[in-house]
């Protein structure tokens, strides 16, 4: 993720937090509650939960991609075994064309997505952890 992407994530997260605080302050004012400190604490707790949920979502996305990669690798192994059993060119070429090449492309794509998800998890995860720590 480049610097602009990081700034965008950070700005969006901070804007959301400020909106939450403003919402709780307005609710407190509407109820006649002058205790803005408790409203801010409630907003911070809600936001902390949302940040932790976002961290969990990043972890789950990476886990799902890794599981998908494992399934594709298994399918590829089976297709490769079938491919190797045929000695005639026509069948071998068809198996290669219909199964092996598409699976190789999917595996390449999923590996790229896994690397992107790892980067997101690392970068966004550090940002989220930092923000959670600042809330404490």
- Render pLDDT for 58-68 as a digit per residue (tens, 0 to 9): 888 889 999 99
Convert the pLDDT of each residue in 102-129 to its tens digit. Answer: 889 999 999 998 988 888 778 777 777 7
Average pLDDT, the chain: 78
Output the pLDDT for position 13: 75
Domain-wise residue ranges, the chain: 3-135
Residues 6 or more apart from 83 whose CB is under 8 A from it? 92, 95, 96, 99, 100
Task: Please report which residue ranges of 31-87 form alpha helices under DSSP H.
Answer: 36-85
Stretch 82-107: mean pLDDT, rounded? 80
């Amino acid at each position: 993720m480049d610097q602009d992407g990081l700034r965008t994530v950070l700005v969006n997260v901070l804007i959301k937090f400020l909106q939450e605080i403003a919402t709780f302050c307005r609710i407190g004012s509407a109820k006649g509650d002058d205790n803005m400190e408790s409203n801010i604490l409630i907003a911070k707790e809600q936001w902390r939960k949302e940040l932790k949920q976002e961290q969990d979502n990043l972890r789950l996305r990476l886990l799902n991609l890794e599981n998908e990669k494992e399934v594709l690798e298994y399918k590829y192994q089976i297709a490769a075994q079938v491919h190797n059993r045929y000695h005639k060119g026509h069948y071998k070429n068809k198996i290669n064309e219909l199964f092996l090449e598409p699976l190789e492309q999917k595996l390449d794509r999923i590996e790229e997505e896994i690397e992107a998800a790892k980067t997101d998890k690392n970068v966004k995860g550090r940002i989220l952890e930092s923000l959670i720590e600042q809330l404490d």
